[in-house]
Amino acid sequence: MQPQQRHNQVPSARPLERRRHARVKVALLGRYMLSNRQEYPCQTIDMSPGGVSLIAPMRGEIGERVIVYLEHIGRIEGEIVRHIENGFAMTIAAPLRKRDKLANQLTWLANRHALGLPEDRRHERIVPRKAIALLRLPDGSEHAVRIIDVSLSGAALSSTLRPTIGTAVVVGRTPAKVVRRFEGGIAVEFQTPLTDDEFSEAIEL
């Protein structure tokens, strides 16, 4: 019986799994949807691959399912586990592969300022097969641009246009804002990051 008892003690490894990734203090803007399908703005306080604390105007119910879209991270989902001042904490339900990817993203975010990186390059960048897109400016005018490359969080566009930093634009059907200008083009950040399912060379913005 003794070997059988040892075999059944597998759950003791779970705390070690939870401790594998530290919680990172990071302020990311986003939006979330409760089970009533209402959307609200939010901002992260801290985050790990297994959970996140959010500043949120509507706290929801303990155990309620939440879907969250965060800048630079994309879509996550889970359940509310406790209320905090001005918000709530929730679990993140994700397979191990996605949790490991999230851990890498959080490590990058935590060190971004210390590294002094001039721009966000942590997402893989690809060149889409359909490289021509329409860029719509706030005045409603549309201009053809060439997509140099695209990541989950934004794109680099070849264009002679010089909109100011912070200008709200639409690339194809994807809302974005101008975050950088360079010789021969601009860089934009998507209002809502693309999902892994959308991200391939066949993407059409």
Q: Judge whether residue 135 has pLDDT over 90.
A: yes
CB 202 within 8 Å of CB 187: no
The domain segmentation of the chain, as residue ranges, is: 2-115, 132-190
Q: Judge whether residue 76 has pLDDT over 80.
A: yes
- 91 phi, psi to nearest 5 deg: -80, 165
Q: Is the pTM of this model over 0.75?
A: no
DSSP string, 148-204: EEE-SSEEEEE-S--PPTT-EEEETTEEEEEEEEETTEEEEEESSPPPTTT-STT--
CB 102 within 8 Å of CB 110: no
Domain 2-115: assigned CATH number = 2.40.10.220
Question: Between the CA of residue 116 and those of 27, 47, 183, what are the distances in Å?
Answer: 17, 22, 22
Q: Judge whether residue 98 has pLDDT over 60.
A: yes
Tell me which of 64-78, 101-115, 117-131 is least confident.
117-131
User: What tens digit of pLDDT does each residue of 151-171 get?
Assistant: 888 898 999 999 998 999 999
